Amino acid sequence: MPEEKKFIVENAELIFKNFSGEETPFNRAGERNFCVVLDQEVASQMAEDGWNIKHRRAVEEGEEDIPYIQIKVKYKIKPPKVYMITSSGRTLLDEGLVGTLDWADMKVVDLIARSYEWQVGDKQGIAAYLQTMFVTIDEDPLEAKYAAIERGEVDG
């Protein structure tokens, strides 16, 4: 079995979020995943190493296409540790709660993904699976107010 590879992305920009595994024209029902935008140099090196790097067309003419990698979120074999950070503290999100991240206002995301080398017929590659992720939520003033009340810091 090949050695598992890992990569860390701090202050990650997430796109195409589907933590709930909702069926879409681009996603089978139950397949939880999201994509992370990569630096051009990092993406080139990862592609050379066999990772499945994709590119999103640039918004403005003359700009470079935006490299990204899809990261799968699977709870069956090696469940990821996904933590949501708010003013109330740190919450571990299980399979039933991780879908709330689809609509969350994310301030900072740090993550570690691990590799899985696959081969189907004459095709092969390296898929990325989420290992650990910390998501700091950008709370609105009411969320912060009521979190303080819950902690007993403010009179209700």
Confidence label for 152 from pLDDT (cuts 50, 70 and 90): low
Considering the chain, what percentage of its residues have pLDDT values greater than 90?
A: 71
- Phi, psi torsion values for 61, nearest 5 degrees: -65, 140
Query: Which residue has better confidence, 4 or 71?
Result: 71
Q: How many angstroms separate the CA atoms of 100 and 1, rounded?
A: 35
pTM above 0.85, yes or no: yes
∠ CA 78-119-67, rounded to 5° = 75
Task: Decide if pLDDT at 116 tops 80.
Answer: yes
Q: What is the mean pLDDT of the chain?
A: 91
Specify the amino acid at residue 134: F
Domains along the sequence of the chain with CATH: 6-150 (2.40.50)
Residue 107, phi-psi category: left (phi > 0), alpha (psi -120 to 50), beta (remainder):
alpha
Our measurement of the distance from residue 32's CA atom to the centroid of its chain's CA atoms, rounded to an integer in Å, reads 10
